[in-house]
Homo-oligomer: A and B are copies of this chain.
Amino acid sequence: MKYIKITGYILMFLIFSIDTAFGQNILWKEIANGIWKASVGEPENISLLKAAGIKPKTDAIQKLPKATFPFSKEKIGTKIIDGKTYLRFPLTRNEQIYGFGLNFKTVHQRGRIMQLHVDHYGGSDNGRTHAPVPFYVSSKGYGVLIDAARYITVYAGTAIRVDADDPPVLRDRNTDKQWQAQPYSDAIEILVPAKGTDIYIYGGNKPMEAVQRYNLYNGGGCLPPKWGLGFTQRVPTLYSQDDILKEAAEFEEHNFPLDFIGVEPGWQSMAYPCTFEWDENRFPNPKKFNEQLLKKGIRTNLWLNPYVSPKGSLYPKVKNLSGSHTVWNGIIPDLTLKKIRDIFKEHFIKNHLNIGVSGYKIDEVDGFDSWIWPDVATFPSGISGEQMRQIYGLLIQDMTAKWFKELNQRTYGLIRASNAGASAMPYVIYNDYYSHRDFITALINSSFIGVLWTPEVMASKSAEEWVRRMQSVCFSPMAMLNAWADGTKPWSFPEVEKAVRDVASLRMELLPYIYTTFSQYHFKGLPPFRAMNLVNGFSFDQKTT
């Protein structure tokens, strides 16, 4: 190799630049009761909270008990090197860490390494997930958010500095049985591949208070319409409006609750890519179709993904305001542009909201890598492919939710990608990964990071599994059966039809309580489905959890 010689001059330069780059003197400002914000380096024009368009509930935050800054500010390390931001936060012995995205297999995050990256969950908690929220909650009662729309690498108590404050014990693997493959680390270290970021610290006297502050600062949790908390069935993809009316009638016959129906890709004249226009054969009269369902108290929710088909009327309008690449031959609207949002708003309100559509299921804004734009994609706003991937789910939730708000309606839909700042979004995350055990873990983890998650029910192998899945979905944010691919009904296993109906009926009886829980989410920031680790009196001794 060409040797790199360190001359005295370069050494001096390095020492100088690291010294000044260390941000021990960054300015922490208390922006609300017990919430502090600081900027490191030059934060980018777009961030997660900016994309989410949060509106902090400062009054509600003011009512929370006072909190002090959770550790010595001098223990926070920040530096900018070569256009990247290096962050360090202290950890103490026995401190436990939760959050860092919608993980499916792990609750305790201390000792883990991940790169937070919006993606379909692929079976391991490596940071690639539907909501890779860069927010963590400590058992000591505080939370930290890195508000950067970037692929952030997190070392949650794994990186060990030569000059650690609380270094691990030195042991010889040859002879010492106490030798550890993973020695003790006294810090969380984070690499943000950007020249700066905003950081938020949410104080608290216990973990729940930190979570409340996080949710309230994001605008408080969403408050769904009551129908949104009922039961919903997604019908097979090529069902016509007549098929769906028939399906609704069957629910009535089976004495099974049905509050809204999910209409899958076949409602569109082409999908994928999408036209966002009704198919004239399967849906000759969508207005009448929505009215007929509404008479029975049933709403409609339309499936879509955002990739615009050349066959649709929107295409020529958005072509020059879209990304460099296609997804499934559809162009990718740059949703950070007001002009694009205006075009979508006009089309969607006219063709959907104004004829009674109550919400959307927004698919494929997560990944896999093959089913989304590449990181080499560029967008007319100048936002990179990486940034757009981290925020697209937030942008489309924010855009669609505002349409309903302007019409003074509530909505409650489904989303496949989300991120920090989403607490107030009237959307529930779903995917098509089907480990029942992992579903429950995700439900637990959703409560740390201000998102909602539903373990949607699809085909099961046995009647027993069918009941168990129905039971968990009925105690989740959205009680949904998704029959888009296989046409399953709640009564598909006759031997457990009663058990399934019972649990659905129980959901309906509990609806006032569930609604009340959501109002606590909305007004107090208390997550409606809570990890035990957030509940008063829960032991934080890891051995007992």
Contact = CB atoms under 8 A, between A and B. Distances in A.
Contact of A371 (B10, B181, B324): B181
**Candidate in A88, A172, A189, A398 with the most chain B CB atoms within 10 angstroms:** A172
Nearest to A398: B1
Nearest to A374: B159
Given A1-B52, A179-B272, 12 more contacts: A1-B50, A2-B50, A113-B369, A153-B376, A155-B376, A161-B325, A168-B329, A171-B329, A174-B237, A174-B238, A189-B374, A191-B376
Contacts of A82: 384
B329 A376 contact: no
A129 interface: no
A160 B2 contact: no
Interface string A306-325: 00011100000001001111
B329 A159 contact: no
Given A174-B265, A265-B173, A159 B50 contact: no
Contacts of A182: 370
Nearest to A10: B382
A407 interface: no
Interface stretch (A253-261, A331-339, A409-417): A331-339
Contacts of A325: 159-162
A193 interface: yes
**Candidate in A161, A325, A374 with the most chain B CB atoms within 10 angstroms:** A374
A6 B380 contact: yes
Nearest to A176: B270
B381 A6 contact: yes
A3 interface: yes
A328 B339 CA distance: 54
Contacts of A158: 369-370, 374
Nearest to A114: B369
Contact of A81 (B86, B266, B268, B378): B378
Contact of A326 (B14, B160, B369, B371): B160
Contacts of A373: 159
A70 interface: no
B376 A190 contact: yes
16 contacts: A1-B50, A4-B338, A4-B381, A10-B382, A83-B83, A113-B370, A153-B376, A158-B369, A158-B374, A159-B377, A170-B329, A173-B328, A174-B265, A174-B268, A181-B371, A189-B374
Contact of A155 (B86, B162, B374, B383): B374
Contact of A324 (B2, B5, B53, B162): B162
A339 B5 CA distance: 9
A172 B271 contact: yes
A51 interface: yes
A219 to B, nearest CB: 13
A271 B173 contact: yes
A395 interface: yes
A173 B376 CA distance: 26
A328 B50 CA distance: 40
A77 B445 CA distance: 43
A172 B281 CA distance: 15
Nearest to A83: B83
A398 B50 CA distance: 48
A4 B174 contact: no
A395 to B, nearest CB: 7
A132 to B, nearest CB: 16
A183 interface: yes
Given A1-B395, A53-B1, A190-B376, A384 B170 contact: no
Nearest to A238: B174
Contact of A4 (B2, B45, B183): B45
A168 B6 CA distance: 52
Given A171-B329, A191-B376, A271-B172, A338 B3 contact: yes
Interface string A454-479: 00000000000000000000000000
Contacts of A46: 1, 4
B50 A338 contact: no
A371 B113 CA distance: 11
A18 interface: yes
A113 B266 CA distance: 30
A30 interface: no
Contacts of A174: 237-238, 265-266, 268, 270-271, 279
A242 interface: no
Contacts of A250: none
A42 interface: no
Interface in A142-178: 153, 155, 158-163, 168, 170-174
